Amino acid sequence: MFIIGELINGMYANVARAIKAKDKSLVQACALEQLKAGADALDVNCGPASRQPASDIRWLVETIQEVTDAPLALDSSKPEVILSGLESSRNKVIINSTTADKEKLDKLVPLAKKYNAKLIGLAISSKGIPQSKDQRLELAAEIVASCAEQGFSAEDLYLDPIIMPINVAQSQLRQILEVIREFKIISEPSPKTVIGLSNVSQGASRRGLINRTFLVMATAFGLDAAILDPKDKELMDALISAELVLNKQIYCDSYLDAYRKK
């Protein structure tokens, strides 16, 4: 599983304060802690309160790059903010994200190509959140088709089925799991799949338990990547164990340590 740490996000009060006060040490510590806990990449999001997201993301990218060369997932719905992040990135980059809307795809796919970035494509459009498996597949297929037309490799594309909170759309979660598997057969070579995990438990009690249960199930359906809190040790232990059950890692008594040594 490719793990994108979610904690550098202005949605969290401490990060929002750090962005405002230009407190590098908090952001850098947050980056290193997530990597140490098993993150392969770091999500970078200025948060909803940022008034100058284009300069804030630049500051975040530059700050993080001082301490690591791990890939960065530039997280914004605004292409100009993504562009600002791309311009300041020395590390490998994941664009997070485009929707299935043509105007977004026409802007972000060329940027991904130009900056040799990976791209997260959300199965969502300006028409709203999909309500069924077929709608999700249709939106995903539009993204894949646009990438193919523009010469962007499906292997560098991560499709996100859009996770709905369990207390909002309980009946959709099973379909979302199924669609993770079906996304893989949209094209050859297959696109990859990603989820923003914490959404599943938004507003619910027992968030940790719901998160790790869903992640384990999604892993069994072939999920490639997840945006999550890598410092949630129980979550990571459950994920590592799920990969073991799926024969993706070789068992040994210290398999949790072994995974973390990698």
For the bound state, the minimum distance from the C-beta of residue 9 to other proteins, rounded and expressed in Å, comes to: 28
For the bound state, the minimum distance from the C-beta of residue 253 to other proteins, rounded and expressed in Å, comes to: 5
Nearer to other proteins, 94 or 100 (CB): 94
Count CB-CB contacts under 10 A for residue 149.
11
Nearer to other proteins, 51 or 261 (CB): 261
Nearer to other proteins, 40 or 178 (CB): 40
Q: How far apart are CA 141 and CA 225, in angstroms?
A: 19
Q: How far apart are CA 31 and CA 68, in angstroms?
A: 8
For the bound state, the minimum distance from the C-beta of residue 256 to other proteins, rounded and expressed in Å, comes to: 10
Contact letters for other proteins, residues 44-83 (x by CB under 8 A): ----------------------------------------
Q: Does 13 bind other proteins (CB under 8 A)?
A: no
Strand pairing report for 2-5 and 72-75: unpaired
For the bound state, the minimum distance from the C-beta of residue 247 to other proteins, rounded and expressed in Å, comes to: 10
Contact letters for other proteins, residues 80-109 (x by CB under 8 A): ------------------------------
Environment class of 151 (CB within 10 Å of its CB; exposed 0-12, middle 13-18, buried 19+): exposed
- Within residues 227-256, the interface with other proteins by CB under 8 A covers 249-254
Radius of gyration of the chain from Cα atoms? 18
CA 211 to chain CA centroid, Å, is 15
Q: How far apart are CA 52 and CA 48, in angstroms?
A: 10
For the bound state, the minimum distance from the C-beta of residue 216 to other proteins, rounded and expressed in Å, comes to: 21
Number of residues that bind other proteins (CB under 8 A): 10
Q: How far apart are CA 250 and CA 262, in angstroms?
A: 13
State the maximum Cα–Cα separation within the chain, in Å, rounded to a whole number: 51
Q: Does 261 bind other proteins (CB under 8 A)?
A: yes
Q: How far apart are CA 185 and CA 5, in angstroms?
A: 27
For the bound state, the minimum distance from the C-beta of residue 1 to other proteins, rounded and expressed in Å, comes to: 12
Residue 157, strand partner residues = 119
**Chain residues in the site for other proteins (CB under 8 A):** 249-254, 257-258, 261-262
